[in-house]
Amino acid sequence: MTNLFRITASGDEAYQHYIDTIEKGFSIDSIKHFLDSKQINALKYIYGENLIRAWGAKAGLMNTKTWEKMQIGDPVLIYRKGNFEYYAFVTFKLHYPDLAKHLWGVDSTGQTWEYIYFLNNLVEISVPANIFNEMIGYDSNFHPYGFSTTEEQKINNLKKQYGSIESFLNYLSEGKWVEKESIYPHEIKKDIIQERLSRQIGKTSILEANLENILVNDIEKIENGLKLIGRQIDTKEVGRLDLLCEDKEGNMVVVELKRGSAGSSIIDQIQRYMGWAIKHKAKQGQKVRGVIIVATKDTALEYAVKANPLVQVKTFTLFIQ
């Protein structure tokens, strides 16, 4: 493994694409009319009955060169608004504008993200950019842009420090980077690392779509007296809102679901949904609050939401905690 790629999903359009085709994924059946039999068989071999994850790059000299350099098995870091949220691995590549339009549409200039690469084994890391930059050797204020690969010198430095790119990725996923973070007390750091280690052992998570169906059918699993107003609301401005509810006090409640754990950037996401609800849905004087539901406890996220008393985190196992 010699490459380490980066993609960004910080803008509203990019983040919605990220939710649709990386976090949630899509079935082989939904794209098979674009593919020949060899391509279908290859994806079935890779994914089986599981959902596919994919991303793409627009045509352009640098993007094309980066895409051509990408090999099967290469890791891809996923960045969003100050955090490296996940990494995943390349499984397959296609240059296919029509498929890209089907998955993501086109931008305001008519371009699509035609250099497609398929991903698998999505691993949550939620590493702040300043910590990542320190580990990899970038300036503290460095923020990635677009689709890029890590410089050879930085790769060699990582290998010297951690032994291999695989060991570096394990270091991130196990949460050991938290020791470099100054905002958490020592005991909080221990909790975060233990949670990340336990996830690596193999906790199962509930698919986001299944979780949504469970909660829609019994919305009071979230809290007593809650009523559903709508689900999968396309705001046209800030993405797609999972659930919009009203509580027994008459407050509007924005509910955001995550299939496993969630990085701190989800706070920005739900606050944007809350702002949209205040502007477009709430009655005059009606309070709007947010609930983030995750399938595994995340101390770092719980610590982060303390700054906003209108947002809370709940854990869904067989019940809401």
In a shared domain, residues 235 and 122: no
Residue 30 lies in a domain: yes
Residue-range definition of the domain harbouring residue 51: 5-202
In a shared domain, residues 48 and 99: yes
Last residue of a domain, one of 202, 226, 251: 202
Query: Structurally, how many domains does the chain consist of?
Result: 2
Q: How far apart are CA 54 and CA 40, in angstroms?
A: 15
Q: What is the pLDDT of residue 14?
A: 87
Q: How far apart are CA 5 and CA 69, in angstroms?
A: 10
Last residue of a domain, one of 202, 225, 256: 202
Last residue of a domain, one of 202, 236, 262: 202
Residue 321 lies in a domain: no
pTM value is 0.70
In a shared domain, residues 19 and 119: yes
In a shared domain, residues 218 and 304: yes
pLDDT in tens, the chain (321 residues): 578 999 998 887 888 888 889 888 899 999 999 999 999 999 999 999 889 999 999 999 999 999 999 999 999 999 988 888 889 999 999 999 999 999 999 999 999 999 999 999 888 888 888 888 888 888 888 888 889 999 999 999 899 988 899 998 888 888 777 777 766 777 776 676 666 666 554 444 444 456 777 788 888 888 999 999 999 888 877 878 889 999 999 999 999 987 554 556 678 888 989 999 999 999 999 999 999 988 777 777 888 888 889 999 988 754 444
In a shared domain, residues 195 and 229: no
Residue 154 lies in a domain: yes
Cβ neighbourhood burial of 100 (10 Å; 0-12, 13-18, 19+): buried
Q: What is the pLDDT of residue 116?
A: 97
How many other CB atoms sit within 10 Å of the CB of residue 163? 12
Strand pairing class (83-95; 53-57): unpaired
